[in-house]
Structure 1
Amino acid sequence: MRIQVIAAALAASALPALADERPELTVYTYESFVAEWGPGPIVKDAFEARCGCALNFVAAGDGAALLARLRLEGDRTDADVVLGLDTNLTAAAAETGLFAPHGRDDSVLDLPVGWEDPLFLPYDWGYFAFVYDKTRLPEPPASFEDLIAAPEDLKIVIQDPRSSTPGLGLLLWVKAAYGDRAPEIWEGLAPHILTVTKGWTESYGMFIDGEADMVLSYTTSPAYHLIAEEDYTKAAARFDEGHYLQIEVAGIVASSDQPELAQQFLDFMLTEPFQSAIPTTNWMYPAVTPANGLPAGYETLIRPETALIFPAGEAAEVRDEALAEWRDALSR
């Protein structure tokens, strides 16, 4: 009996050491991805079961903040994979020289536009939109110009384009829809902006708490309320100008000491366990449609008649101009 007890004790003491010997993959991503209600926990369990490794998610703000952190850390970064950039940031990310070619097959992708990028692989997509509560705002604006013309007490919450991918997406949405008229549009919108938050989570929370009439989010956001809460009061306003398309991507960091594991993660990212989690945890459209299709409720969402998007290189070119127009309007 004593021998059995000693043997059991030795075996138990060895477990942490064995766990520590597993290779570790570090993935930088945004806060909502790793939240307990986000896809992170599901992805972690499913990938670790396959890889025999430890998957370590590190939350580093929204997409723009991810890129800023990676630039700051450079080749010294702990990241093996960065997940959460979008096409408005990929050109700038590529210019850093910090990403390696992914070498993965992208022919399986189901996107509303074609895709060719040797460094970045999509995992989901969606359209930006202003979400509102139908009980508080029965007749929402149907365009940016309608929003400008609304009573001044109609307030919206948006995100900072310098730290948030939705915030940057809004800048490019206005620029794509109005071109040289963008400064005029921002000047008209400014009185309706209650505040600018650093990231999406804070602004959406303010909207849910009733502090604003509308919040910059996605056409898919009402699916959360419908499916998870059985709340039919939230909707996305359809804008006549069209809606800006966001494609979220992941990339392998060139300095990674786990390149094969990083490639394995990107392969896994396009498989059913990862992609089927996206619609009901990240509340976006998956980059590869699951075998059983989209969850019930997604058919109720608005589908923009016009999809607006700048190619990655063009988005990088107009970003600074659009940011200056936004900053000038809000500083007056």
Structure 2
Amino acid sequence: MKYLGCIAGVFAATMATAETPELIVYTYDSFVSDWGPGPAVEKAFEAECACDLKFVGAGDGAALLARIKLEGARTDADVVLGLDTNLTAGAMETGLFAPHSVSAEYSLPIEWNDENFVPYDWGYFAFVHKNGLDAPDSLKALGESDLKIVIQDPRSSTPGLGLLMWVKAAYGDESSAIWESLSDNIVTVTKGWSEAYGLFLEGEADMVLSYTTSPAYHLIAEEDAGYAAAAFEEGHYLQIEVAGKLASSDQPELADRFLAFIVGEGFQTIIPTTNWMYPAVTPADGLPKGFETLVLPEKSLLVPAADAVAVRDAALAEWLIALSK
């Protein structure tokens, strides 16, 4: 009888597991890290969805699109979280993404009306440094300095791609000359943001490509006010990170529910002090103390999503030539 009871228990547990829907979300590695938003988001969503939310780290942001292209309609992913407006047009060209029905009162710097992608946070790219450094006030001045910098590869990293677009948006036809000047400053190019920021913290470089919000991490999480983002006179490039549903998802209703969840309080309150970005929808209690100390760019730069593919291809060619010299 005990043996039969054991079998019945295993059978019941197996049935319960089989009946629990699973939602697979591809995202970037730092999102699913112990210190990233992933663990808290998973707990919050599972508390209301009666499902199993499974995050899968797929490198850095730009690597997500490459993986989805490779897997195609055979992908296990239901949702991709971590693309940005530099990648959304390319993502739509794949024919793999489906429209959403999410609406929200966004607190983004621009109007949002994309029917396929839902924004969940935003920020400005910047070069972060320790206080006490005589920081340059422009990309051109940075290239003319002797400062050592670490950047990310634009083919795998959204910050790396963001820097390409930043230089192109700010300098246009002069961008090749800017890259030639910056090439002497670059210590190394990493695959993703985490590796680059780690090298900076280890003292391998004077500045690192990151975000104007990065100093908030040191201030709030470490109680260290010793970091700052350099304000550049030509402006800073805006990043809006988004999530999208795969048309091939076998959990389309659950995917829709997750997309709606990410613009709600349960998700948005997690973002500022885990992903260290501005939330796409400002929480009812506002931003955490410390965010008011951050650099606010006087000029915002952004290549329209529809133009991003063409601009990216031209900018990438310039970047490769400059760094090969």
TM-score for both structures, normalised by structure 2: 0.97
Give the secondary structure class of the aligned counterpart of 1:47: helix
C-alpha displacement at 1:10, in angstroms? 4.6
Tell me how far apart the structure 2 counterparts of residues 101 and 150 of structure 1 sit (CA, whole Å): 47
Match of 2:239 in 1: 246
Match of 1:266 in 2: 259
**Unaligned segments of structure 1, at least 5 residues:** none
Match for residue 316 of structure 1 among 297, 309, 322: 309
Tell me how far apart the structure 2 counterparts of residues 6 and 92 of structure 1 sit (CA, whole Å): 56
1:234-287 deviations in Å (ceiling 9; x for gaps): 110000010000000000000001000000000111110100000000000000
**What is the letter of the counterpart of residue 18 of structure 1?**
A
Match of 1:187 in 2: 180
Give the secondary structure class of the aligned counterpart of 1:278: coil
Match of 1:143 in 2: 138
Match of 2:90 in 1: 92
1:288-310 deviations in Å (ceiling 9; x for gaps): 00000000000000000000001
**Unaligned segments of structure 2, at least 5 residues:** none
**What is the letter of the counterpart of residue 313 of structure 2?**
D
Match of 1:15 in 2: 13
Tell me how far apart the structure 1 counterparts of residues 19 and 217 of structure 2 sit (CA, whole Å): 39
Tell me how far apart the structure 2 counterparts of residues 72 and 97 of structure 1 sit (CA, whole Å): 13
Tell me how far apart the structure 1 counterparts of residues 18 and 34 of structure 2 sit (CA, whole Å): 24
Tell me how far apart the structure 2 counterparts of residues 12 and 268 of structure 1 sit (CA, whole Å): 33
- Any residues of structure 2 matched to 1:221-240 within 5 Å, and which? 221-240=214-233
Tell me how far apart the structure 1 counterparts of residues 181 and 241 of structure 2 sit (CA, whole Å): 30
Match for residue 35 of structure 2 among 34, 37, 47: 37
1:64 matched to 2:59? The reply is: no
Match of 2:285 in 1: 292
1:123-171 deviations in Å (ceiling 9; x for gaps): 0000000000114x2x1111112112212xx200000000000000000
Match of 1:201 in 2: 194
Give the secondary structure class of the aligned counterpart of 1:316: helix
Tell me how far apart the structure 1 counterparts of residues 14 and 45 of structure 2 sit (CA, whole Å): 20
Match for residue 121 of structure 1 among 114, 118, 123: 118
1:166 matched to 2:159? The reply is: yes
Tell me how far apart the structure 1 counterparts of residues 201 and 266 of structure 2 sit (CA, whole Å): 30
Give the secondary structure class of the aligned counterpart of 1:230: coil
When residues 226 and 9 of structure 1 are mapped into structure 2, their CA distance, relative to the original with a 3 A threshold, is: farther
What value does the CA root-mean-square deviation take over the aligned residues? 1.5
C-alpha displacement at 1:21, in angstroms? 2.3
Tell me how far apart the structure 2 counterparts of residues 304 and 9 of structure 1 sit (CA, whole Å): 64
Tell me how far apart the structure 2 counterparts of residues 134 and 59 of structure 1 sit (CA, whole Å): 33
Give the secondary structure class of the aligned counterpart of 2:151: strand
Match of 1:102 in 2: 100
Match of 2:51 in 1: 53
Give the secondary structure class of the aligned counterpart of 1:44: helix
C-alpha displacement at 1:113, in angstroms? 0.5
1:82 matched to 2:77? The reply is: no
C-alpha displacement at 1:7, in angstroms? 5.5
**What is the letter of the counterpart of residue 187 of structure 1?**
E
Tell me how far apart the structure 1 counterparts of residues 79 and 282 of structure 2 sit (CA, whole Å): 23
1:56-95 deviations in Å (ceiling 9; x for gaps): 1000011210000000000000000000000000000011
1:157 matched to 2:154? The reply is: no
C-alpha displacement at 1:18, in angstroms? 1.3
Give the secondary structure class of the aligned counterpart of 1:281: coil
**What is the letter of the counterpart of residue 310 of structure 1?**
V
